[in-house]
Amino acid sequence: MERTGKSVATDRAPPQNGAQEIRPTPVASGQGLPCMGRTRPKTRAPTRKIRFASLNIGTLTGRARELADVLLRRKVAVAFLQETRWKGRRSRLIGNGYKLIYTGAAGGENGVAVVLSEEFQDAVLEVKRYSDRLMVVSVLIDGVVTHLISAYAPQVGCND
């Protein structure tokens, strides 16, 4: 078979084009071309998983113990509640090691709360109750001050 000036589909790339060469080594700083492994191991801070929950409870009257059972079963550490419909600004133990910190209106409307498991009860730094719809609980978690915010906003069209 005679070759003409045209390329044939069975032709191979010449070895001098670099397609068959091995990859060059990376630069000493580790930047540039990718290499097979990291020059130093990546270090990460230890992680801790905390399970949160948010519930529009409707009313908390007569449901505190049931709520504690559900939170324990689902392994929830912090829960935010809306529409508790409780009067006053207090905190109380609701069972299974959970503590309820709540605020509500004098008329027994609206109301928000934060429920904390046993591991966070002693870490509470501050509780700010702004209204019956907004409260902030500051907690120290692994040396970091964390603000837990429970808020309630009614639906559009409500008179309140």
Q: Which two tokens stand for residue 43?
A: 């270090």
Q: What is the pLDDT along the chain (160 residues), one digit of tens a residue?
A: 555 555 555 656 655 665 556 666 656 665 655 555 556 666 776 778 899 999 998 888 888 999 999 999 999 999 999 999 889 999 999 989 999 999 998 888 889 999 999 999 999 999 999 999 999 999 999 889 999 999 988 776 666 5
Query: Tokens 């930047």 belong to which residue?
Result: 31
146, with CB counted inside 10 A (0-12, 13-18, 19+), is: middle
In angstroms, the CA 53 to CA 76 distance is 7
pLDDT value of position 67: 93
For the record, the structure tokens of 64 come out as 């505190």
Q: What are phi and psi of 135, to 5 degrees?
A: -150, 150
Residues paired with residue 138 on neighbouring β-strands, in sequence order? 126, 147
The pLDDT value recorded for residue 98 is 95
Give Cβ neighbours of residue 105 (< 8 Å, ≥ 6 apart). Answer: 87, 111, 132
CA atoms within 13 A on the CB side of 49: 3
Is the pTM here over 0.85, yes or no?
Answer: no
Query: What is the SS3 assignment for 96?
Result: coil
- Across the beta sheet with 144-151, what order do the strands follow? 124-131, 134-141, 144-151
Predicted local distance difference test score (pLDDT) of residue 114: 95
Burial of 79 (0-12, 13-18, 19+ CB in 10 A): buried
Q: Looking up tokens 């004098």, which residue turns up?
A: 106
Identify the pLDDT of residue 65.
Answer: 92
